[in-house]
Amino acid sequence: MSMSMSTSVCGGGGRINPSSSSSSSSLISRSYRRARGPCHAHSHARHSTSRCRLSASSPSSVWAGSWDEDEYYDVVVVGAGHAGCEAALAAARMGRKTLLLTLTLDKIAWQPCNPAVGGPAKSQLVHEIDALGGEMGRMADRTYLQRRVLNRSRGPAVWALRAQTDKRMYSDVMRTILERTDNLFLREGMVTDIVTDENETLTGVTTHYGVTFRCAAAVVTTGTFGNGIVWVGRKQVSAGRAGESAVSGLTECLQRYGFETGRLKTGTPSRVDRRTVDVSRLEEQRGDEGLPKGFSFDPDFDPDEFRTTPELRSQLSCYVTRTTAATADLVNSNLDETPTYGGWCDAKGPRYCPSIEDKFVRFPHRESHQVFLEPEGYHMPELYVQGFSTGLPERLQVAMLRTLPGLENCVMMRPAYAVEYDYVPCQGQVTPTLMTSKVRGLFLAGQINGTTGYEEAAGQGLLAGINASLYIDVGENRIADVAASSDSGEGDVDAGALVSRARSRDSLLVLPRSSSYLGVLIDDLCTKDLREPYRMLTSRSEYRMSLRQDNADARLSAVGHAVGLLSDRRYEAFEKKRATVAAERKRLSGIRIFADRQVALAEEVETVTKQRVPSSTKGGGLTLEELVRRPGVTYELIEKHGFGADESLSAMEKTSVEVEVKYEGFIKRESKSRRKVAGNEGMSIPKDFDYLSVDTLSMESRHKLESIRPLTLAQASRIGGVSPADINALMVRLLQEKRNQQRDETNRAKKETTPV
C-alpha cells in the first residue's frame, strides 16, 4: 500500500484563509464544500470519484486556493494517551500519513492513575493488542519495574500477567517510539471542532487556535478531558487531569452533530513520598523473577533496549499495609465531608473501585482493609497508595494516610482526586468498527466511549487506528455490509474469513465476541447501556475458556498480519511456533505409557492424580497427551522423566502445548453450549435495510434499529429495548428478502440462458 504523498507536510501550518478561521463550523463546512474540488488533487481514487460528483454540483471554486494551503493528513488522531498512541502508530504503520495532536507533548502515554499494565482480563487484552501488532505489550515489557503472574492457583484460562511500570519511562519510551515511526507527525493542539461535508462525512478537524487539519479520518481519544472537572473535597477545578487544562468545545461540537453525551466519574488516590515511609515494617510484595515471557509474543523483541543501567533491570517491590481503627474513626467521623455521603455529589464512582469511605460504610464488620504501596518509577520517590482513593478534602487525606502503619510520618506529594468528564455512550452512536454512525470518518476510542483502564483504551485505539486506515481504501458503500459479514455469527470465529477480508482491505475490521476480549469489550459498548465506566472483566465474556492470554497470538496474529501491522518476520515466528506446538501435540498423542513399562513416570502421575495408569497387560495404556490432560500433570513432569520433545521447546511453546491439551475438552464443551445459539442470529443485515417499512416491528424498535443500524441480527438482539419478537420479525423479513433475492437471481439466470 503506497501513498502518493507520505512526507513533507509541515510546511503551511496555520496559514489559512481568514474567513475560514471563523469559529462557526457551519461556515467552515460551507466554505470547504465549495473548495472541495481542487483540494483533493493528491488524494485517493475514492475521493476523486466523490469529488467529481460533487464538484459538478458546486460551480464556484473561489475558496479553493486558500484551502489547498492547509495541511492534509490521511488520519488525524486527537489525544496522545494510550488509545491515541496505539491509533496513531497503527495508522502510520499501515502507511497512512498520520498526525497525532495532543495538548502537551510532555505527557504522552501518561499513566495518571496506577502505573500498571495488565491484571485479570486486562492482561488478555494486552496480549491481544500485541498479537494484532499494537505497542502496549512491548511498552510494558520495556518499562516494567515489577511484574507478577496473578491467579496462579486458578486455571490457565484466567492466568494474568501484571506489570508495574515506570511512569516516566513509559511516557519517554512511547514518545521515542512515536518519533521513530515513519508517516507519523506529533503536534500540540487542542481540537475543538470537526469539519464535515454535506454528507456528514468528516473532512478535517479544527483546533482551538483556529488551525484546520484536513483529513480523511479522525480518531478522537480525548479521555477525561471533555469538560473535565477535578474534585478534591468540595473544591473543584476545570481540568482533564490534575494540573492539565480541560477541553471545552469538542463535546459541544459533537452535540451539534446530534451525539448524545453523558458524564462519568472516576478518580485516583494520593501519592506519598517513599522516603518518608518506613517500609521495613511492611509486608513486601516482590515481583516474579524468571518469567518465561512478558506480554509480547515476539521472540526476537529486546525488552531491555531502554534499560540502560543495571539498576533499571532489577525489579522493585510493592508493600502492603492496612487501615487501622484510627483510619476508620477518621473516616466515619468525617463522612459528611465526602461528596457521596455529604450529599453534594450524587454521581457514584465505579463499583470496582470503591473509595475508602465506601469500604468502611459498606463493610462495617471488617476491621481493616489492605492498602498497597506501589512505586511509580525507578527514579521517582512517589508511591501510589492503592486501595485508598477518597473524596475527602486534602487536609483530611494527609491525616488519614498517617493512620496507616509505616506511613505515620509520611509526606503526601499529590492529593487524591476525582475527575468528572463527558463521554459518548456508544450504544447507537458508535459502530463496532468504532466509527461513529453519525459522522462518517470520525472514530472514537478510549475513555470517551465510557471505558476505564489503559488496556481498554489501547485496544480500542488500535482498532480505531486500523479501521481509520482501512476506511480510506474501503468504498463507502461497502463499509456497513462488509463489516457486517465479518461479525458472522456468535459462534466460533471464522478466522479464515476474517483474515481474508482483512487482507483484501476492502472492509473495516470488526472483531467478533468469540475472537477476543477486545471484541467483547466493543460489542458490549455498542449494545449495552452503561451505568459506570466499563472495565474489562473475564466474567463479561462467554468465551472465557478460549480467550486466554497464552493463545492470543493464535487468535489474532493472522488478522494483525493481514491488515499489515504484524511484520512478516513476526508472522513467520508465530507460524513456526504454531507448527512446533502442533508437531509436539502429535508426538504426545503417539507415545503410549504403561504402568509396568514407564514405571517412574507412571508412579509419579499416579501420586499426582490419584488415578491409576493401566499396565501393558490391560489395554493400550495412556498416551502422553492423555496424561497431560489429567489435572495436576504438567508438561514439566513428563519432561522430567525424559519424555520431552527431542528439540527443546521454548517456554512459551511448552505452555501452549500443555494448555491446549488440558483445555481441549472444556473448549469443546464451551463451544457446544454456544452452538445452541440459533444459527440465524449471525445473519447480517444489509446496511440500507429499511427498518421503517417492516410493519411487524414495533414502532419504537423501528426507530431504535434505524438509528443504531446493527450489523447483524445478533447485534440487534443485544440492543436494549428491542424485543425478541422484533428480532423474530426482523429475521423473518431478512429470510424473505433473501429468498426473494435468490428467486430473482434464478429468474435472471434462467432468462440469460433462455435463447432470445
Partner 1 sequence: MIWEPCTSPTEPPNTEHRLMDWGFHMTAVFGKTTGAADALPILPSLRVRVVSNRILCHVTRVYTALTDFVCVESFLSVGMKRFHTFRSFQVHGRLAVHSLTRCACLKHARLVPRGPCGASAHVHGNRPATRPRRLGPGASNSNAAATSQQEAISSDTIAALVTAPCGGAVAVVRISGPQALEYATHIFEPAGTNKEEEWTPESHRVYFGRAVHPTSRILLDECLLFAMKAPRSYTREDVVEIQTHGSETGVVAARVLDALFELGARRAEPGEFTLRAYVNGRIDLMQAESIGMLVSAQTAEAADVALGALVDERSSSDSSAGSSFAADMTRARDACLDALASLEASTDFAEDDIPDLLSDEEVLSMIKRDVHEPIARALETRRAGELLRAGARVALCGRVNAGKSSLLNALSESDAAIVADVPGTTRDVVSAVSSLGGVPVTFLDTAGLRSDSQGVADGAQVDDIERQGMQRSARAAATCDAVLFVVDSDAGFGAEDDVAWRALVGGGGIVASSTSDSSNGDSKMRLAVPTILVYNKIDVAAPSNRHPDEASFDRVVEVSATTGKGLDDLREGVRAVLSPKATNVGWAVSERQAEALIRARVAADAFLSDAHAGVPIDVLVPHVRDAASALLEITGVRRRARARLGHHGSAEEELVEEELEEAVLSRLFSTYCVGK
Q: Contact between 361 and partner 1 (CB under 8 A)?
A: no
Grid coordinates belonging to 58: 458546486
The stretch among 20-28, 164-172, 181-189, 699-707 that binds partner 1 (CB under 8 A) is 699-707
Subset of 470-499 contacting partner 1 (CB under 8 A): 490
Does 325 bind partner 1 (CB under 8 A)? Our answer is no
Q: Give the footprint of partner 1 on residues 31-90 (CB under 8 A).
A: none
Rounded to the nearest 10 degrees, what angle do helices 325-333 and 394-401 cross at?
Answer: 160
Helix (H) or strand (E) holding 73: strand 71-78
Of positions 261, 315, 317, 567, contacts partner 1 by CB under 8 A: 261
Specify the residue, 54 or 320, whose C-beta has the smaller distance to partner 1: 320
Alpha-carbon distance of 747 to 201, in angstroms, equals 38
Residue from 26, 275, 688, 699 touching partner 1 (CB under 8 A): that is 699
Each residue 658-697 as x (binds partner 1 by CB under 8 A) or -, in order, gives -----x--x--xx--x--xxx--x--------------x-
d(CA 470, CA 508): 6
Smallest distance, Å, CB 334 to partner 1? Answer: 19
Q: Is 167 in the site for partner 1 (CB under 8 A)?
A: no
Position 369 contacts partner 1 (CB under 8 A):
yes
Which residues is 423 bridged to in the sheet?
262
Binding of partner 1 at residue 329 (CB under 8 A)? no
Considering only 205, 239, 264, 442, the residue that binds partner 1 (CB under 8 A) is: 264
Site membership for partner 1, residue 716 (CB under 8 A): no
Which stretch, 119-127, 180-188, 462-470, 503-511, contacts partner 1 (CB under 8 A)? 119-127
Q: How far is the CB of 48 from partner 1 (least distance, A)?
A: 37
Q: Are 492 and 237 in contact (CB under 8 A)?
A: no
Angle between helices 45-57 and 25-39 (to 10 degrees): 110
**Rounded to the nearest whole angstrom, what is the least distance from the CB of residue 217 to partner 1 in the complex?**
25
In the region spanning residues 194 to 253, those forming contacts with partner 1, defined by CB under 8 A, are 227, 229, 238, 248, 251-252
DSSP string, 340-401: HHHTS--PPPPTTS--HHHHHHH-TT----EEEEEE--TT--EEEEET----S-HHHHHHHH
Q: Does 630 help bind partner 1 (rule: CB under 8 A)?
A: yes
The reply to whether 609 sits near partner 1 by the rule CB under 8 A is yes
Is 264:421 a contact under the CB 8 Å cutoff? yes
529 contributes a contact to partner 1 by CB under 8 A? yes
In which element (H, E) is residue 499 found? helix 495-504
The residue with cell 497427551 is 625
Instruction: Check residue 724 for interaction with partner 1 (CB under 8 A).
Output: yes
Q: Does 405 bind partner 1 (CB under 8 A)?
A: no
Q: Are 519 and 714 in contact (CB under 8 A)?
A: no
Residues β-bridged to residue 383: 272, 375
Q: Check residue 331 for interaction with partner 1 (CB under 8 A).
A: no
Residue 317 makes contact with partner 1 by CB under 8 A? no
Ranges within 532-571 binding partner 1 (CB under 8 A): 532, 537-540, 542, 544-545
Specify which residues 100 forms β-bridges with. 77, 186
Query: Is 26 one of the binding residues for partner 1 (CB under 8 A)?
Result: no
295 binds partner 1 (CB under 8 A): no
Closest CA to 222 of 113, 23, 53, 81: 81
Q: Scan residues 735-754 and list those touching partner 1 (CB under 8 A).
A: 736
- Residue 29 in contact with residue 195, Cβ under 8 Å? yes
Q: Please, what is the minimum distance in Å from the beta carbon of residue 16 to partner 1?
A: 27
List Cα–Cα distances, 589 to 171, 554, 615, 657, 669, in angstroms.
48, 21, 17, 12, 21
